[in-house]
Structure 1
Amino acid sequence: MSSPRQYLKLSPFVLLLSLLLTAPVAAEEPADPGFQKWVQDFRKTAIKNGISGEVYDRAFKGITSPDQWVLDKAAYQPEFKAPVWQYFDNRVQRRAIERGKKEKQQLQPWLEKIEQRFGVNPNILLAIWSVESSYGGILDNDKVMRSVIRSLATLAYADPQRKKFGRQQLLAALKILQSGDIDESHLTGSWAGAMGHTQFIPTSYQAYAVDIDGDGKRDIWNSVPDALATAASLLSNNGWRKGETWGYEVTIPDRKLPAGKLTIGEWEKLGVKRANGEPFPRKDDMAELKLPDGRKGPAFLMLKNFFVIKRYNNSDRYATAIGLLGDQIGGAPGLVKDWDRPFTPIDSAQVEELQRLLKEKGFYKGEIDGKAGSGTRKAVRAFEKSAGVEVKGYPSKEVIDLLQSQ
């Protein structure tokens, strides 16, 4: 749950002066006649789809141009694909695990109620909350949380590849406003319209949103119980199996294994065993072998619930990260076999130390956030080049040692 902002008590004069000095001056975007005509024309489509003219006009009040930031994000295609170890290090890390455990204690009555209703493991819901919005932390970031109406209208009007998506989601967002679950000033989301603590696009919200706190509104923006229950609703409606895990870390024999799904018992006959040495609880479960990092990294037998998590985000990496993070929030140890990496890994606190050292030496200008993103890697490469060592760009213990020695 996001912490409330803290304000100093200032005299009216000092407060006014501080606001004048520190408030950013927003550059007003010029009105776009073409966009305004599109908005007026789309009004007819919205009304045909059951949106009242009053709701439509209120939703678009003050929106006179597309959001260029949204178009920039939509057009950005990163050339760098994160290696497996980096993807998981940035999501399954100590800070996320500790925060998840604290939230679990604080939300225990709600989590029990959600589990009783939907049968979904609370640890998985907390992991989704962490990965999707940093436990709600991104919701306070005005740079990435924008008007959902404007963002989707921008895509529908100006993005050839996402016009259909933008129109479909915009109609759904207008229906959300019409339902009264949220008002237009608080209907915020990512550049593609993902909303709230658990980042639901409008059509998914319509299909799965839940008012579990009983206030009459399905509020995934301000009610953490509603947001977690909505995630549970999605998983439950897509076939989540109560009381079962998502997968097992395993060891595999040094020979070719079949693709596709076999029973756990059949995998055992092929030499596949649990990495922690414990027996498999159900031999008849169907499972698929996944090697996210090849044979040099950890191996997994993935069960039904793994594929259900993929209905949230259709990515093997995503579903594996959710499963691993959820397990560790629940108290399970980390992986038996680490990811295949060419350096000594560091945790989020050590990444912060690395970022501080790089900033002190003038190589890093980003936030001290403990996340080894592209900015941190770029700074590491610049430092390594200046130090006359092989340029690798890995945030690692070796780089911290080198920084501290200079």
Structure 2
Amino acid sequence: MKLVSFISVMFLSFSVSAAQSSPAELQQQFIETMVTKHNFDRDFVSQTIAKSKVNHKILSAIAKPWEAKPWHQYYPIFLTEKRLNKGLAFWQKHKQTLLKAERETGVPAQIIVAIIGVETFYGTYTGNYSVLDALTTLGFHYPPRATFFRSELAQLFLLAREENFDITALKGSYAGAMGWGQFISSSYRHYAVDFDGDGVRDLLNNPVDAIGSVANYFKKHGWKAGQDIAYQAEVSGNQYTKLLSKSLKYKHTWQQLENAGVQIPHQNINAQQSVKLLAFEQVNNQEYWLGLPNFYVITRYNHSPLYAMAVFQFSQQLKQAMN
């Protein structure tokens, strides 16, 4: 048997075996990993998992994400007068903290304010689901993304150990995101910062730490200070349709898009600039935008162009109102 064929067969056998594992078997595998890889006490992990419950509302929620809506139904959820007013009040209250974050990371205040506003309406809605229940439900009972959520469950145990959290008391979204900025466990561990210098990275109750942590997240994911995010585009002909894709990766240059009939009035763009053509569904037509590298960075926070566009447009509203 050729090596490639042998590897393919072995991989297929492993995949089928993993797919057929029961929730109980997956739990035992998880417990073993936490003990052998991360040096947790077996009884502690077992007893903690035993305290979790399968939440069918979580399974229903993840099957119908808001990001599955068309743009014309999605953006009115976030671009509201009420959210704008709340955002302006948040900006005024935390003006010095936002200036500090912008100075240290290059991420503008309006983006940070927009993210926290879209995520939790400025700490108003941080989630009422047990984070433990969310991650065990999705990690052991939601095959499409079970591997990811088991990884986040492991990160939750590590986070609780590092930050001295009561793992059974943590509340968040149906996907296990926590706090003002809705950080998942791995993001909390890797990107949260103690922005007020009190010795604690508190994203659950401290908006100052949340501001610094959102800014740090964007900086670590490649935010380019002083650069634009997106431009509304015009299209002609039909060659541009070949450049549209669901992938979030940037695979084309501005020269390629321009040659395919994409125009950006009143903007001078480098021919070799890496860009992405985006289409957003309105009621009677498609609206086209040119995504620049900073737009891609926003999609690192939530892997949806609709989310990134809502954040961008909300940030523009905030900036205009503040000015």
TM-score by length of 1: 0.62
Aligned to 1:110: 97
Aligned to 2:5: none
SS at match of 1:130: helix
Taking the TM superposition and a 5 Å limit, the aligned residue runs for 1:139-178 are 139=126, 144-178=127-161
Q: Do 1:181 and 1:217's aligned partners in 2 also have CA atoms closer than 8 Å? A: no
Q: Is residue 305 of structure 2 the alignment partner of residue 305 of structure 1? A: no
Q: Do 1:55 and 1:174's aligned partners in 2 also have CA atoms closer than 8 Å? A: no
Aligned to 2:319: 330
Instruction: Name which of structure 1's ranges 60-69 and 226-235 shifts more when overlaid on structure 2.
Output: 60-69
Aligned CA distance change for structure 1 residues 104 and 163 (closer, same or farther; 3 Å): same
Aligned to 1:280: 267
Which whole-Å CA distance do the structure 2 matches of 1:291 and 1:134 have between them? 27
Q: Do 1:262 and 1:286's aligned partners in 2 also have CA atoms closer than 8 Å? A: yes
Aligned to 1:255: 237
Which whole-Å CA distance do the structure 2 matches of 1:98 and 1:129 have between them? 13
Instruction: Name which of structure 1's ranges 200-209 and 284-293 shifts more when overlaid on structure 2.
Output: 284-293
1:221 offset after TM fit, Å?
0.8
1:191 offset after TM fit, Å?
2.0
TM-score by length of 2: 0.76
Taking the TM superposition and a 5 Å limit, the aligned residue runs for 1:117-132 are 117-132=104-119
Aligned CA distance change for structure 1 residues 205 and 92 (closer, same or farther; 3 Å): same
Q: Is residue 51 of structure 2 the alignment partner of residue 63 of structure 1? A: yes
Q: Do 1:136 and 1:197's aligned partners in 2 also have CA atoms closer than 8 Å? A: yes
Which whole-Å CA distance do the structure 2 matches of 1:297 and 1:245 have between them? 22
Q: Do 2:139 and 2:148's aligned partners in 1 also have CA atoms closer than 8 Å? A: yes
Aligned CA distance change for structure 1 residues 95 and 179 (closer, same or farther; 3 Å): same
SS at match of 2:277: strand
Instruction: Please provide the CA RMSD for this pair.
Output: 3.6
Which whole-Å CA distance do the structure 1 matches of 2:303 and 2:204 have between them? 23
SS at match of 1:300: strand
Aligned CA distance change for structure 1 residues 254 and 219 (closer, same or farther; 3 Å): same
SS at match of 1:197: coil
Taking the TM superposition and a 5 Å limit, the aligned residue runs for 1:25-104 are 42-53=30-41, 56=44, 60=48, 63=51, 65-74=53-62, 76-77=63-64, 82-104=69-91
How many residue pairs get aligned? The number is 290
Q: Do 1:120 and 1:242's aligned partners in 2 also have CA atoms closer than 8 Å? A: yes
Deviations 1:15-63 (A, max 9, x none): xxxxxxxxxxxxxxxxxxx989976774443222325429936982981
Question: Max radius of gyration: which structure?
Answer: 1
Which whole-Å CA distance do the structure 1 matches of 2:260 and 2:55 have between them? 57
- Name the amino acid aligned to 2:263: V
Aligned CA distance change for structure 1 residues 256 and 180 (closer, same or farther; 3 Å): same
Aligned CA distance change for structure 1 residues 166 and 85 (closer, same or farther; 3 Å): closer
Aligned CA distance change for structure 1 residues 184 and 288 (closer, same or farther; 3 Å): closer
Higher RCO, Cα 8 Å, sep 6+: 2
Q: Is residue 193 of structure 2 the alignment partner of residue 206 of structure 1? A: no
Aligned to 1:223: 206
Aligned CA distance change for structure 1 residues 83 and 282 (closer, same or farther; 3 Å): closer
Which whole-Å CA distance do the structure 2 matches of 1:147 and 1:79 have between them? 21
- Name the amino acid aligned to 1:137: T
Aligned CA distance change for structure 1 residues 80 and 161 (closer, same or farther; 3 Å): closer
Q: Is residue 174 of structure 2 the alignment partner of residue 191 of structure 1? A: yes
Which whole-Å CA distance do the structure 2 matches of 1:257 and 1:168 have between them? 41
1:77 offset after TM fit, Å?
4.2
Q: Do 2:236 and 2:261's aligned partners in 1 also have CA atoms closer than 8 Å? A: no
1:246 offset after TM fit, Å?
0.6
Aligned CA distance change for structure 1 residues 164 and 35 (closer, same or farther; 3 Å): closer
Aligned CA distance change for structure 1 residues 281 and 106 (closer, same or farther; 3 Å): farther
- Name the amino acid aligned to 1:329: L
SS at match of 2:300: coil
Aligned CA distance change for structure 1 residues 206 and 78 (closer, same or farther; 3 Å): closer
Gaps of 5+ in 2: 1-21, 244-250
1:230 offset after TM fit, Å?
1.9
Higher helix share: 2
Which whole-Å CA distance do the structure 1 matches of 2:56 and 2:68 have between them? 25
Deviations 1:256-284 (A, max 9, x none): 4643644489849968344xxxx436656
Which whole-Å CA distance do the structure 1 matches of 2:293 and 2:252 have between them? 10
- Name the amino acid aligned to 2:210: A
Q: Is residue 117 of structure 2 the alignment partner of residue 138 of structure 1? A: no
Gaps of 5+ in 1: 1-33, 334-406
- Name the amino acid aligned to 1:238: H
1:78 offset after TM fit, Å?
7.2
Aligned CA distance change for structure 1 residues 303 and 170 (closer, same or farther; 3 Å): same
